[in-house]
Amino acid sequence: MDLQLSGKTVLITGSTAGIGYATAQLLLEEGAEVYINGRQQASTYKAVDQLKEEVPGARVAAFVADFMKPAEVEKQLSTLPSVDILINNVGIYTSKSFYTTSAEEWNSQFQVNIMSGVQLTKRFLPTMLQQNWGRILFISSECAYLVPSDMISYSATKAALHAVSKGLSHLTKRSRVTINTLVPGSTLTEGAKKFIADKAASEKKDPAEIERLFFQNERPHSLLERFAEVKEVATTIAYLCSPLSSATNGSVIKVDGGSSGGVL
């Protein structure tokens, strides 16, 4: 299927690794021009060079900006052209007790997970509406539904993201711009691989057993009963970026293997 993304310009926040990187790879293969974002020159240009090798002829460039520093981001934004597709993917978390999670940690997660998307949507939505085409995606998490007790702050930011995304979608009425939220479940990024390996080493268990126990105890509603591959999440993101997804707007799309449970 041709996703009709050739010639579209895309910015993916937090895309030097993980779901963002896999999405970039897929969109480049589909002929889009992609801006890769990370905090450091070195990691961002490394990802750009790697993508150029992996996807011959890829039109890929760096957008170095730290979303903990909105003033710096604003400066960097003046160097970017308008984009057709904005993927608000960057997300940080803490996994610790509610009592030891500091106000600073709450604020950092709100800043990176929510305010990055607010800042970028303010910058790019008006042009999308003017050109009468655009896609904005907010990457949430199964935690918006599960709210694990060691991740209350992160889960709160992800739940809030649903309200931001839904509210912004109302601004697209009578246009061909869409704004949606995508909900990944536990996904096998480098971070997840390290989590499994570290736990396996400390508990002297096989990594496969660690994964089995994680889904049995922490994600009992999962029908998938395994971590999703980053590409499994990226393919749904790519579809939502496509002109083919034109009737999906103001929606929440889950790619969580059933883990968040319930009917909504």
The contact pattern for ligand NAP, residues 164-203, with x = CB under 6 A and - = no contact, is --------------------x-xx-xxxx-----------
Cβ neighbors of 26 (< 8 A, separation 6 or more) are 231, 234, 235, 237, 238
Q: Which of 23, 25, 37, 260 binds ligand NAP (CB under 6 A)?
A: 37
The contact pattern for ligand NAP, residues 4-33, with x = CB under 6 A and - = no contact, is ----------xxxxxxx-------------
Smallest distance, ligand NAP to C-beta of residue 19, A: 4
Any contact of residue 117 with ligand NAP (CB under 6 A)? no
Residue 35: active-site member: no
Pick the catalytic residue from 21, 99, 154, 239: 154
Nearer to ligand NAP, 119 or 141 (CB): 141
Q: What are phi and psi of 158, to 5 degrees?
A: -70, -40
Are 187 and 193 in contact by the 8 Å Cβ rule? The answer is no
Are 112 and 55 in contact by the 8 Å Cβ rule? The answer is no
Any contact of residue 43 with ligand NAP (CB under 6 A)? yes
Rounded CA separation 166/26 (Å): 26
Closest CA to 46 of 17, 26, 22: 17
Q: Which window, 52-60, 127-135, 137-145, 201-209, contacts ligand NAP (CB under 6 A)?
A: 137-145
**181 has which bridge partners?**
138, 252
Q: Count CB neighbours of 100 within 10 A.
A: 8
Find the binding residues for ligand NAP in span 59-88 (CB under 6 A).
66-68
Element (H, E) at 227: none
Nearer to ligand NAP, 132 or 229 (CB): 229
Please list the active-site residues. 154
